[in-house]
Amino acid sequence: MNLTLKIWRQKDSSAKGQMVDYKVTDISEHMSFLEMMDVLNEQLVGSGDDPVAFDHDCREGICGMCSMYINGEAHGPDRGVTTCQLHMRMFKDGDTITIEPFRAAAFPVIKDLVVDRTSFERIQQAGGYISVNTSGNTQDANAIPISKHDADEAMDAATCIGCGACVATCKNSSAMLFVGAKVSQYALLPQGQVEAADRVQNMVAQMDLEGFGNCTNTGACEIECPKGISLDNIARLNRELMKAAVK
C-alpha cells in the first residue's frame, strides 16, 4: 500500500517543531507500524536526510518503549496493542496517517517522536517498591497465603509496562492509571502492607510534582492502555490515599 505520513519533526528539546509530509510506497499490510517507520527511515537515510527519531526496543509489546500518537490515538487505532504490535493492515491504501509524539508537560519532547518519560521513573522511585531483607533470611513468597482473587488483581495491575499511553490519551495528561496500577500491585499483597501509607502518599506527591493533570474519570486511559489496566486501579489509588490520610 502507498501512504502519506504527516510526522512531527523537532530537531531537539528546545527547537520549534512542525508537521512534515512524507510518502512511503509498497508497504506490506503484514508489516508492523515500526517496520513501516523503518522503511521510511531507510528512504530518508538514502536521500541524505535526517531519519525520524522514535523510541523502540523489544518490538514485542513488553518493554513499553514505543510510543507515538497515531491518527489521534495512543499506539494507534487498534486495541490492546503497543505501536510495535500495530499492523499496517489496520490502514488502507492511500491513507494519510498523522504521527505525533505523546503530549504532556511531564513528557517533554527530546527529538521528533521521542519523549522523556523519566518522570515515571521518579514516581516509581518515590514508593513503587517493597523493602525486603536479602541477607539470606528472606521468606519464600510462595509460603505466604494470598487469595486467588487478590493474586490475580495484583498480577493484572503489575502488567503495566509504563509506556505512558494513559497520560498521552488523557485529556488532562493525568498519570493516575499508571500510579494506580503501581500502587495496586503492592496494596493487594501482604508484602506491600508495611509501606502502604508512605508508598501511596509519596507516589501521589511525586506525580503532582511532575506536573501531570487531574483525573476526571473519562475512562479514555483504560480503553487505550495496551495492557488493559482497569480503571478500578484508580479507584483503589483513591481509597489507598484516603486510608493513608486518616491513618
Tell me the angle at which helices 176-187 and 148-158 cross, rounded to the nearest 10 degrees.
150
For residue 42, the Cα-to-chain-centroid distance in whole angstroms is 27
Q: Is 80 in the site for other proteins (CB under 8 A)?
A: no
Distance, CA of 145 to chain centre: 32
CB of 200 to other proteins, least distance (A): 9
We find the least distance from the C-beta atom of residue 143 to other proteins, in angstroms, to be 31
Indicate which single residue of 212, 226, 227, 229 sits in contact with other proteins (rule: CB under 8 A): 212
- Residue 119 interacts with other proteins (CB under 8 A): yes or no: no
For residue 207, state whether it binds other proteins (rule: CB under 8 A).
Answer: yes
**Number of amino acids touching other proteins (CB under 8 A):** 50
State which of positions 42-71 bind other proteins (CB under 8 A).
69, 71
**78 near other proteins, judged by CB under 8 A:** no
Radius of gyration for the alpha carbons in the chain, expressed in angstroms and rounded: 20
- Cβ nearer to other proteins, comparing 159 with 201: 201
Give the SS3 label for residue 69: strand
The answer to the question of residue 241 lying near other proteins (CB under 8 A) is: yes
Tell me how crowded residue 120 is: count the other CB atoms within 10 A of its CB. Answer: 26
- Amino acid at site 160: C
Q: Which of 24, 103, 124, 191 binds other proteins (CB under 8 A)?
A: 103
Among 82, 204, 226, 227, which residue sits at the site for other proteins (rule: CB under 8 A)? 204
Per DSSP bridges, beta strands 73-74 and 69-70 are: antiparallel
In DSSP terms, 21 is beta-bridged to 6
Indicate if the alpha-carbon torsion angle 230, 172, 215, 212 is positive or negative.
Answer: positive
User: Shortest distance, CB of residue 232 to other proteins, whole angstroms?
Assistant: 5
What lies within 8 Å, CB to CB, of 177 at 6+ separation is 160, 166, 170, 221, 222, 225, 229, 231, 233, 234
| 153 part of the interface to other proteins, by CB under 8 A | no
| Min dist. Cβ of residue 196 to other proteins (A) | 14
Q: Is 224 in the site for other proteins (CB under 8 A)?
A: yes
CB count within 10 Å of CB 39 equals 16
Q: Of the two residues 144 and 245, which places its CB atom closer to other proteins in the complex? A: 245
Which of 187, 173, 174, 197 is closest to 104 using CA atoms?
173
- 171 part of the interface to other proteins, by CB under 8 A: yes
Is 174 near other proteins (CB under 8 A)? yes
Q: Which of 120, 145, 122, 144 is nearest to 132 (CA)?
A: 144
Positions touching other proteins (CB under 8 A) are 6, 8, 19, 69, 71-73, 77, 98, 100, 103-106, 109, 169, 171-174, 176, 201, 204-205, 207-208, 211-220, 223-224, 231-232, 234-239, 241-242, 245-246
